[in-house]
Amino acid sequence: MADIANEVSQRPLLDLTTGFMRFKTFSAAVELEVFTRLANGREVTAEEFAAETDLQQRPADVLLPALVALDLLEKNGEVYRNSPVAEEFLVKDRPHFFGGFVQFYDRALYPGWEQLVNSLRTNRSMFVDPEKQETVFAPNDFMMNFFWEAMHSLAGYTGKALGEVYDFGAHHRLLDVGGGSGGIPIELCRRVPSLTAGVYELPHVCPVIERKIGEAGLGEVISALPGDFNTDEVLPGGYDVMLLSQVMHCGDEEANRALLDKCFAALQPGGAVLICELLLNSDRTGPANAAVMGLNMLVSHAGGQNYSEAEYRDWLSDAGFVDIDVVRFDAAGADGAVVGRKPAWKSSRAAGGEHDRSRDHR
């Protein structure tokens, strides 16, 4: 008789198949503001929950156990309350509110993913018509009012996690290249009072940055710097640390190598660059979050994918960076940063020439 315990199970396939149900349950609860309604330890019965969310009793009775099963709510006797993760990240106006990110995926990315097979067959984004716009980041009402807000909370928590494993106190001036709404510099400058920062972003995003740094009370510490790292020949200079957070996955190898060359040229001698991403392992077999995010780049961008630590190491080395290392942390948007340092001696490219790589790698 076959050993049933060792037989292959259909369970992993079922979990994959029903994954969308979990997400849609989650996003529905965010839209209904379930977790904000139950903030600060508030407890409700199923009947009170139905009245609070303006649902009939049957929908409330099927939603509640689903949210408990997903570890978003807890049940104690006949009452329900937020789980710790919901209380921390899913209550509006909390510092690292994740709900906007959930709604962005629900309203923007989810429909695009329905066209994944078309993206695979055509190697084209389902979000960008190249005849109408060059990038998904072009200004429009949705991007300005929704996307940057969604990314802000993700960036802030990434900055918190990164600041716990990398010593930004060793630096004085940070340039966040393609830094979105400035979430990471806001977190880092709060953590390190001696640090100042510039957020180098597309001109139409700079008002968002200025509003966010003003709300954080850091208008004298952080500046918005308009530009486009894809088309500008040089990056702003005078910085001793540069951050590329969730930027490199948007570009192909040629574009990413060109960007690292610009970083090397602009960075102060002895300074560091950090590539902050969901990192694929060296044989490109996972982890799952990094691998699947690569498909998200296919669906949403004209170029780009997720890359491995080994690829980033090679690109940094070829650009002239030395002492390359990786720091690991746990955040939704990234799980590590590949760090490279510019040699302390002057080895930047002269106009039209190459820097002395023999000295960089001695």
Taking a C-beta distance cutoff of 8 angstroms, is the pair 271, 168 a contact?
Answer: no
Reference 21, options 67, 71, 58; nearest CA is 67
What phi, psi does 2 have (nearest 5°)?
A: -65, 145
Residue 201 has phi, psi (to 5 degrees) of -145, 170
Dihedral-angle region of residue 264 (phi above 0 means left; psi in -120 to 50 means alpha; beta otherwise): alpha
249 catalytic residue (yes or no): yes
Contact residues for 124 (Cβ-Cβ < 8 A; gap 6+) = 118, 130, 302
What is the DSSP track for 198-239?
Answer: EEEE-GGGHHHHHHHHHHTT-TTTEEEEE--TTT-SS-----
3-class secondary structure, 267: coil
Residue whose token pair is 């590329």:
244
Q: Given the residues 171, 249, 301, 355, select the one marked as catalytic.
A: 249
Q: For the chain, how are helix, strand and coil distributed in percent, rounded to 5? A: 45, 15, 40
Query: In the numeric block, which tokens belong to residue 50?
Result: 């139905």
Tokens found for residue 220: 């004298």
Output the DSSP codes for 161-198: HHHHHS-GGG-SEEEEET-TTSHHHHHHHHH-TT-EEE
How far is it, in rounded angstroms, from Cα 244 to Cα 260? 9
Q: How many CA atoms lie within 13 A of 359 on its CB side?
A: 11
Can you tell me the distance from the alpha carbon of 109 to that of 279, in angstroms, rounded to the nearest whole number?
21
What are the residue numbers of the active site? 249
